[in-house]
Amino acid sequence: MNPVLVAQFWTIAVLLALTPGADWAYIMGAGVRAKSAAPSILGMLTAYAVVIVAVALGVGTLVTQYPVVLTVLTLGGAAYLIWLGVTALVKRAEPVGPHGEPITGSAAAQFLRGAGVSGINPKGLLLLLALLPQFTSPTGMPAAAQMLVLGALHLADIAVIYTLVALLARRLLRTRPRALALVGRLSGAMMVLIGVSLLVERFLQH
């Protein structure tokens, strides 16, 4: 692999992971409300890993040949984000236990929610579709193998950055009930806005 291309990809991937979005909105809430944000982060990583493998195996060609696939992904992802956002906006603040864990919820549920947020995120899919092929070298390892390596690097970035986001949210917000409620509302509003923007963008393209 070309080390220059790898370094360029890593720089872009880190900057994108540091950009707040639907993932940040969800992981901040998970960091504060759950005993551990690990299940949510693991769910996000799993979903992105599936996307990376799909891109490496040629799903980009499928999306190019059948644009309806991307449309379905966009509509499904936007609807899911809006549902999560509205749920966060209307949900009554739950009591938090001694470890920060809410009365309801489980590690499996957090894993699935995290996977849903990242796996049905058309922006994330488009990003990987657009970036991974651009940073492969025509020589050396097969292109699919190079994309898997770059994807693994991206997963490592996400794991570190999202863990830090969750820990900072827990440290700064758990002892501030009003701030916690405000962040919950802001996170919900952010997810709704992102979902609506995806719908509007897709509508304008047709």
Residue 105 has a pLDDT of 61
Give the other-Cβ count within 10 Å of 81's Cβ: 30
Least confident of 36-40, 72-76, 94-98, 195-199: 94-98
pLDDT tens-digit map of 124-140:
666 677 667 767 777 77
pLDDT tens-digit map of 140-167:
788 788 888 888 998 999 899 999 988 8
Mean pLDDT of the chain: 75
Residue 36 has a pLDDT of 80
pLDDT tens-digit map of 48-66:
998 888 888 876 556 556 6
pLDDT tens-digit map of 86-111:
876 776 555 444 444 443 467 888 88
Residue 159 has a pLDDT of 92
